[in-house]
Amino acid sequence: MRRKKIYRRVLLSFFLISLAAIIYLIIYNLEKNIPNEIKIVVDREESFSFNMPLKANIETEDIGVISVNDTRVPSNQINIDLNEPFTLSSSKIGKYIVNLKLFGLINYKNISLDVIEQVELIPCGTPIGISIETDGILVLGNNEITGADGLNYEPSYNKLKSGDYIISINDKKIMQKEDLIEEIQKSQGKDIKLTIRRNGEILTTRITPVKTTSGKYQIGTWIRDDTQGIGTLTFISTNGHFGALGHGITDIDTGRLMEIDKGEIYDAQIISIVKGKEGEPGEIIGMIRQNEKNRIGNITDNTSQGIFGDVNHKYKLKDEANPLKIGFKQEVKIGKAYIRCMVDGTIADYEIEIQKIDISNSNHSKGLVIKITDERLLNITGGIVQGMSGSPIIQNNKIIGAVTHVFIQDSTKGYGTFIENMVNKLE
């Protein structure tokens, strides 16, 4: 009898574990294959094939605006079976909520259906120099300092944290680290009041500068107020905006997205290319032509999907470039595509293979896995190298994404972001 009870418990435990595993796999599969947002162009039919046990309801007061499988739906509640291929179109711009139900019974989640105007972008692929100034003085970290009396002090301990932005000292706004250093010297060791921004919250703190053996006053904090680098211009829109990099500019020490006050992008001259190899990513080494003549535009936003801004009206593309329509997530296919970049003095399209597509929102900058297959590019760079981030990805004569990262252990492979993610930020 005791053995039977133990046997039943083991069977029950095995059943529950198996059931939990099945539910986890179903949810994981749904999250990987069902995006949180779907974009379609107004008056253009889009095809979808999710092959998922879901029913979708679109509730709208705009009766007859949305068509499913080429049939105008008169009802204000539109039902779609995601287990079968279907087409979707809308005659009106707008946002709609799509309610998903698992097996048509259990509420799963809501996704956004965004109907937009046709967007055309000029894919660039040109190397750019990037120069930005932070919105305040960025705190990198604190350190111990030796005072004039020979003792060690940590005046900023528990008062300033890595990632803070110092925006004023004694109620005087500051934008450059030299101004902060000057004000600290003027304090002559008396308390200073610092106003800081921490995770969007404004705080104040008081710190007593310490006189060091050199005779200067310090608060024991590492700071930064600007940064520069080389990247790739992804696109210019037909109304004069640009997007670049495909990922945000993060501080090398804190790893956080930098909050910027202003910035510029300039033409960059490639001096040399360090080829990538296993365990060591390569790099484009360039010189920023930082003058008004070579200024491409002004940076207005630094986001997780790249940097964005306005193009200088005097800027002209080096080569003839025609606008391309954007391709949405649902249009991207496994297989051949191209990246556009300039690694040998001229802009060229190089063949790649899209190996994996992740339309979920788990990581916006890693929606695509790509592999460089063009021998010309492999001979020059060894694959994807630092500085190529932002290179536009083109498939079926549409711009569908941008290169974002390289695989450290295999420089022929890397990640890309969907262009619609960048367009979201541009909007």
Which residues are known to be catalytic?
Answer: 247, 374, 389
| 101 contacts: CB under 8 Å, gap ≥ 6 | 54, 55, 56, 57, 107, 108
The span from the CA of 4 to the CA of 76, in Å, is 57
**How many angstroms from the chain centroid is the CA of residue 68?**
33
Angstrom distance (rounded) from CA 296 to CA 266: 5
Kindly give, in sequence order, each residue whose CB lies less than 8 Å from that of residue 424, ignoring residues fewer than 6 positions away: 305
Q: How many residues does the chain have?
A: 427
Q: Kindly report the CA angle at 408 between 404 and 414, in degrees rounded to 5? A: 35
One-letter amino acid of 285 = I
- Tokens 């921490």 sit at which residue? 198
CA pair distance 425, 254, nearest whole angstrom: 23
Give one DSSP letter per residue of 57-73, joined into a string.
EEE-SSTT-EEETTEE-
Neighbours of 384 (CB within 10 A): 31
- Joined together, the tokens standing for residue 67 give 């068509």
- Structural tokens at position 182: 């000057």
Q: What whole-number distance in Å separates Cα of residue 69 and Cα of residue 89? A: 9
DSSP classification of residue 147: B
Closest CA to 411 of 371, 367, 364: 371
DSSP single-letter state for residue 301: E
Structure tokens that stand for 306 in this block: 């790249």
Burial class (CB in 10 A: 0-12, 13-18, 19+), 199: exposed
* Structure token digits, residue 247: 């990922």
DSSP annotation of 222 reads E
What's the alpha-carbon Rg for the chain, to the nearest Å? 27
